[in-house]
Each structure stands twice: as structure tokens, then as C-alpha cells.
Structure 1
Amino acid sequence: MTSQPTTVPTPAAATAPPDYATPIPTRWVGPLRITGNAAAGEVHVPLATYETPLWPSVARGARLSRLIEDGIKVTLVDERMTRSVLLEAPDAETAYTAALAIHARTTELREVTRRSSRFAELLTVRHEITGPLLFVRFEFSTGDASGHNMATLAADHLLTHLLTHIPDISYGSISGNYCTDKKATAINGILGRGKNATAEIHIPQSLVTGRLRTTAAKIARLNVHKNLIGTLLAGGIRSANAHYANMLLALYLATGQDAANIVEGSQGVTYADDRDGDLYFSCTLPNLIVGTIGNGKTLPSVDDALTRLGCREDRPSGDNTRRLAAITAATVLCGELSLMAAQTNPGELMQAHTRIERSTGSPA
């Protein structure tokens, strides 16, 4: 008996779902009072989030900043965008010889970088050798761009140049994960990626008790027990904070940033000190990756947000993005301070979430 071939029905042609916009609820909070070497004045900030308690939490820190003459002081201490390339050699000795040759050509490599972009400048070259593998980490200044594409383009030019002029090495990858992009790593926390900024505030005792309903001693103690020891026990990498990622994501989405960069951006250290009843509180963020030009920045809502933030002004290259980084760091401090204060009081955090989310129609 001859078996009949099985007929498989042809599925209907797949159709792509229609493109549609799903706006994330956004609210302007503030103003925050900021001083420092990259921004000064009072500014409202846009926060795009589904977590509605974030708005009043940041607003509480913002109100506090306006009651202090210097507000939140932000010091920008460094800036660099990175891209690492992977080279392969026959053995470690050859890889090491190649690394020495690369460092000897730094001036030459800076010229190659300038030919790749009007704004990219090669700052530093670092390397790491594992067996026959040579990882080369290029660090660039990138003007007002966050610099991902600019750094990759420059690295591509540099890689081609190295393969042409350095003997006995071959191509491994344009990205060797020694950058490190969108991953929480020790190297980013140590060397920085993007803008490295510290936001700090000095709060008199009367405001700590009156506005935050707690004490400097309680916040300092909780910071050690929760942010430092708790994170250590959890295996955190170069990080000790309560929720930097919340503020970063909300501001990144509202200002057209690459939201995935909150992975390394949320690395950072909160410091709290009881100074005779007054509170010193700071947030150090070594990996703020923001830009005011580039992909996403011409969308109407983003352009409006950057304009209202004062980051569309006629300033020297890089200054608008430095301002945005300072505003971002200050925003993180506002939310971090508010949450830490709330967590010193039993029940306060959950009561606030329940009250605010029910009032907006969100499930409690």
C-alpha cells in the first residue's frame, strides 16, 4: 500500500503588528536647587515612570534642596566613553609585545581618532592580557554626545590601523566586553564610563527632623547596615545604594537616553554622616551615560525636555551634557535621600505606596 504524502497547510502570511506609541506617564518634578561646577540654579526635572510614588519621593528631596542655600552641590570629576577591542596573538609574549607597541603609538592613535570624528578625542589606552588574548580599552571624550557610536566608530578605525601596523596580531572583535557596555562590572566602577559625578547636601538638624521625620544618626546607621553591609552580602559590584536605577530610568526615558545604560549607571555609592545632628548625604555615580545630541534627541518630547532643562543652550562643546549629568546626579540624590529617610520609620514606605498608588487607580 502506497502511503499518501502528508499535506502541510501553508500558514497565512505573517503580518507585522502596527507601530503605535505607548506613552509612559511623565511628570515634571521640582524645582531642584543645584550648585556646582557643571550646573547652577533651580530646575524642574521630567520623570517618565509607571511607579507613581517616585514623583512625590523625588519632590520631597527637591523641596528640601530649596530650603538650603547651596541646595544640592554636584561636582563633575571625570568624563569618558569607552570601547574595548579584542586582538588575538599566538601566545601571551606576543600579546604583551603588541601591547607595548600600541602604547608607544598613542600620539599616532590620537590622530587616527580625530580622522574618525570632529568631536572624539582619545584620552587613554589601557590593556589586559589573558593567555594569547589582548584586550585594548580605548577611552574617549565625545563632546555633547553620550558617545556610544562615536567611540565604536573611532575604535573601528583604530582597530584597522593596529592590524595594519602591529605584527603578529589578528582580529578578535570590535567589542571585547572590557569596555564595559550595559553590564555591571568592577572596571566601570573603578575607572568610570560616561560622566563621574558626586551630588551632596548638608541638611541642618531642624530640617532632618521636621521635613524628613527622622534623624541624621538613623539615616547614617541605615546606610551602613542596608546599603553597605546588605549589598556586600548580596555580592554587589562596586555599588552601595538603595535605588539609583529608579531615578535614572525615569530621567533617561524622558530625555532620550539609552535606557539600558542604567545597568552600569546604577552602580554608585551612597554616603551618610551624622555631623552633630546635621546630616551630610551624598551620592557618587561614576557611570552616568547621558547625551544631549544623537539618537532619540530630536523627538519632539525629548527636544522639549532638553530645552526646558537648559541643555539646548549655545555653550562650548560638552557643556550641555555636563549640565544634564549634574541635573541627573541631583535627581538621584533627591530620590535616594527620600527613600532612605522613609525606611528609617517602620511602615512609612508601604503606607506611602499604598496611598499614592490607590489614589491613581493603580493596584495596591
Structure 2
Amino acid sequence: MTDPTVEDLLERVREGEVRLHELDDHVDAETAATVRRRLVADRSGADLDVVGEYAFDAAAADPNIDNMIGGVQVPLGVAGPVAVDGGAFEGDRFLPMATTEGALVASVNRGCSVVDAAGGATARVTKRGMTRAPVFRVADVAEAEALVEWVRDNEPALRAAAESTTSHGELLDVTPYVVGNNVYLRFRFDTKDAMGMNMVTIATGEACDTLEAETDAELVALSGNLCSDKKPAAVNAVEGRGRSVTADVEIPREVVEARLHTTPEAIAEINTRKNHVGSAKAGSLGFNAHVANAVAAMFLATGQDAAQVVEGSNAITTAEATADGDLYVSVSIASLEVGTVGGGTKLPTQAAGLDVLGIRGGGDPAGSNADALAEAIAVGALAGELSLLAALGSRHLASAHADLGR
């Protein structure tokens, strides 16, 4: 029996015999994408030919997309190279950045050149742990207290259950939170070089089965939003999620004045009044100028989960004039959820972005490549913060955009 043609499948979908998501059961992934693209183009009137021009194998993209019709291309640039002294990321490296925002890469590149002129940036991951926080129903607060005690006494059993589902993840701890007859358990895992969201969800589910079998608590939802994933959340700002990472640099006064056309004191004052006081007045969870810009651009360039830019922008920028009159600047990102294996990192253009950094795949030791990626992103954010604060200090922000025509 011959395989159905594109025209045959188009007719069957139009007649309701085959649903869009069922096309992969009848033909290869490439043909299925073509059929969907033709159908959407016919229905919408859009010209989707360019969407059909992509550089990855449709079958290989199956874990990353549903009802695929093609690919979307985002311009890719680089900032740097910039010298980095990191716990895992070292040397003179280019930073890959994918964005459609004009002047962003130019701004980060300017920051990188200033950081480089100062001898480079230092970066360190200070905490690791991907979280999942299920919510359980109990009868009352007395039963809630009993459940908390059971969890504390039986953490080894929960660890054994959770780790039975993965050869890589390690359960680090379980933190209970009680609200009336609700008990939230925030499981925290070391997921090595994987971002690990799927890993910890499966592992936490297994641990929940053990808990339900041994207690009177009933699982209501495997995620109770105290994780907290893809939402602004104070718990992530305080406790961290994924990687907590800091990058800093001390820039001599003469470099600030010559390269940035302002002073250490001016940058420090702008940072305090804008990033700290202004953010506090706005009720912001991020006390920075535009950390999300660097995070988003490097996420897209390296195959990270773009929605987790929400947590990645949860950062504090500090700036101060030192006793010697130089400028100290730092960026601390509390919850940067990144990986160098799994997810979108396997797609060819995103894998190339990781290759630019020299950190594709699993690290040696395990987890070191994801640490390196976190440090690289923090350095990119540091460069971006420095450049924007300086542009405000020199009053060149508007003119820089005007000069670049963006």
C-alpha cells in the first residue's frame, strides 16, 4: 500500500477524517508539517513558504513542538569576546544572543568591551536546585503538623522513591509550608546539566505516591504554585530556583570616564534611584534595569525554555564607587533555570549557540556545563546593565537608538 500524498491528506483533514495531530500517524514528520502548513495557509490566506525553510529535521523536533508547520528564525548576533573568571566558565568568549530588538547586542557588546578593559568579569553559581511543590489536602492543622513531622522523619524514603525515576537527579531537600488544611512540600533537586523541569516533576510524583500510601494526606495537585515556575514569585527571589548566580567587575575610574563618558558616582546614583528606589516604589520583584534582555536573548540562542525568562529577570543590580574612586558593579540572578542537555538544546541552531560558548552537552563533572551557561548569561546581563546605566548617566540613551536607526 502506497503512502498517502499531500493532496490526499489535505482532503482527509478538510473532511474531518484525520485531525491535525494525527497526521504523524500516517506519514513522516516532514510531510505532516507540509500538510499542516498548506492547510493553515489556505485557511488564513497567509504566505507560509518562508516558514517551511528551516535547518532542522522535523522528526528530531518532535519532542519540542506539537502540530508543527515549520520554523521561525530569529536573528543571531554575538557580543564580546569578554574575559570571564568563572567557577565553571573561563576564558575569552563570545556570547551568542538571538533577538529582534535593535541596539540590544550593540549595548551588551559595549558593556563587554568595558568589562574586558577592566580585566574581565568574575562569575560564580552560589546555589543550585530545581523545585516542584505539590499541594496536599489534610483534615486540619493538627493533621498538617503531623504530615510535616512525617516528612521530616521520612525524607530518606522520599529521596529513594524520587531518585528511583532518574539516573541523574538528586533530591536535596523537602521544605514544608502549611496554610490551613493545605500542606505544600517544596522538593528541591540537583538536576546536573539538565534544566530538569520534567525530571523533577516525574520524581516528585513518585515521592507523592509514597507519601499518600503512608499517610492520610491526599494529593490535590502535583504543582501547587509554590515551586514557582514561569511566574514572578518572591519565593524564588529568596530561596532561588535552578541556578542562583552572580557576576561582578571593578572598573577603573579612567575607563569609566573614557569609555562610558560618565563617572562611577553618577552610575552608582542612577542605580540606587532607578533600580532600587524606583523598583521598590513600583513593587517590582526585579531590582535591575533590563536583565531580562540578556537572559531572553541568550535563552533563545541556546535552546532554553523562553517562558522561564520570567524568573530569570528576578535580579538585583548593585553599583558603588569604591574607596579608590573606581566603579564596582554586580548582577545577582536568583532563579536562572538553564540546561545544556535536553529540551531545545538538541536543535541544531541552538546547539551551535552552545558550541560558541564551548559548553554543549553534559559537563565533567556533571552539572558544570549548566553552571557555565548560568555564569555566561550573568556576565551578559552585567554588561547590559553597565551599558544602559552609563547611557543614562551620559544622557546618550535616546541618541544611541536614534544613531542606530532603531
TM norm. shorter chain > 0.5: yes
How many pairs were matched up? 343
In structure 2, how many angstroms separate the alpha carbons of the residues matched to 1:185 and 1:303? Answer: 30
Counterpart position of 1:65 = 115
Paired residues of 2:118 and 2:255 also in contact (CA < 8 A): no
In the TM superposition, what is the alpha-carbon distance from 1:312 to its structure 2 partner?
2.7
Q: Does 1:75 align with 2:124?
A: yes
Counterpart position of 2:53 = none
Match of 2:180 among 96, 113, 131: 131
Structure 1 stretch displaced more, 272-281 or 251-260: 272-281
Q: How does 1:1-364 map to 2 (within 5 A)?
A: 15-17=39-41, 19-69=69-119, 71-166=120-215, 168-237=216-285, 239-275=286-322, 276-312=324-360, 315-346=364-395, 348-356=396-404, 358=405, 364=406
Paired residues of 2:159 and 2:207 also in contact (CA < 8 A): no
Letter in 2 for 1:244: V
In structure 1, how many angstroms separate the alpha carbons of the residues matched to 2:299 and 2:344? Answer: 11
Q: Which runs of 5+ in 2 are unaligned?
A: 1-13, 17-38, 42-47, 49-68
In structure 2, how many angstroms separate the alpha carbons of the residues matched to 1:13 and 1:63? Answer: 60
Paired residues of 1:89 and 1:95 also in contact (CA < 8 A): yes
In structure 2, how many angstroms separate the alpha carbons of the residues matched to 1:196 and 1:315? Answer: 20
In structure 2, how many angstroms separate the alpha carbons of the residues matched to 1:312 and 1:292? Answer: 6
Structure 1 stretch displaced more, 36-45 or 307-316: 307-316
In structure 2, how many angstroms separate the alpha carbons of the residues matched to 1:171 and 1:109? Answer: 15
Q: Which secondary structure state, in structure 1, belongs to the residue aligned with residue 144 of structure 2?
A: helix
Counterpart position of 2:24 = none
In the TM superposition, what is the alpha-carbon distance from 1:277 to its structure 2 partner?
2.2
**Compared CA separation, residues 163 and 59, structure 1 to 2 (3 A):** same
Letter in 2 for 1:274: A
Paired residues of 1:215 and 1:277 also in contact (CA < 8 A): no
Identity %: 36
In structure 1, how many angstroms separate the alpha carbons of the residues matched to 2:243 and 2:307? Answer: 16
In the TM superposition, what is the alpha-carbon distance from 1:40 to its structure 2 partner?
1.1
Paired residues of 1:35 and 1:73 also in contact (CA < 8 A): yes
Paired residues of 1:127 and 1:137 also in contact (CA < 8 A): yes
Q: Which secondary structure state, in structure 2, belongs to the residue aligned with residue 257 of structure 1?
A: coil
Q: Which runs of 5+ in 1 are unaligned?
A: 1-11, 359-363
Counterpart position of 2:60 = none
Paired residues of 2:341 and 2:360 also in contact (CA < 8 A): no
In the TM superposition, what is the alpha-carbon distance from 1:22 to its structure 2 partner?
2.0
1:282-337 deviations in Å (ceiling 9; x for gaps) = 00011111100011111111111112211037522111111111111101000111
In structure 2, how many angstroms separate the alpha carbons of the residues matched to 1:114 and 1:20? Answer: 37
Q: Which secondary structure state, in structure 2, belongs to the residue aligned with residue 184 of structure 1?
A: coil
In the TM superposition, what is the alpha-carbon distance from 1:20 to its structure 2 partner?
2.6
Counterpart position of 1:3 = none
In structure 2, how many angstroms separate the alpha carbons of the residues matched to 1:20 and 1:13? Answer: 23
In the TM superposition, what is the alpha-carbon distance from 1:76 to its structure 2 partner?
1.3
Paired residues of 1:204 and 1:279 also in contact (CA < 8 A): yes
In the TM superposition, what is the alpha-carbon distance from 1:13 to its structure 2 partner?
5.9
In structure 2, how many angstroms separate the alpha carbons of the residues matched to 1:78 and 1:193? Answer: 8
| RMSD, aligned CA | 1.4
Letter in 1 for 2:377: T
Paired residues of 2:168 and 2:191 also in contact (CA < 8 A): yes
Counterpart position of 1:7 = none
Paired residues of 1:216 and 1:279 also in contact (CA < 8 A): yes
Counterpart position of 2:64 = none
1:118-156 deviations in Å (ceiling 9; x for gaps) = 111111111111111111100000010011101101111
Paired residues of 1:65 and 1:72 also in contact (CA < 8 A): yes
Q: Which secondary structure state, in structure 2, belongs to the residue aligned with residue 317 of structure 1?
A: coil
Paired residues of 2:302 and 2:350 also in contact (CA < 8 A): yes
Counterpart position of 1:6 = none
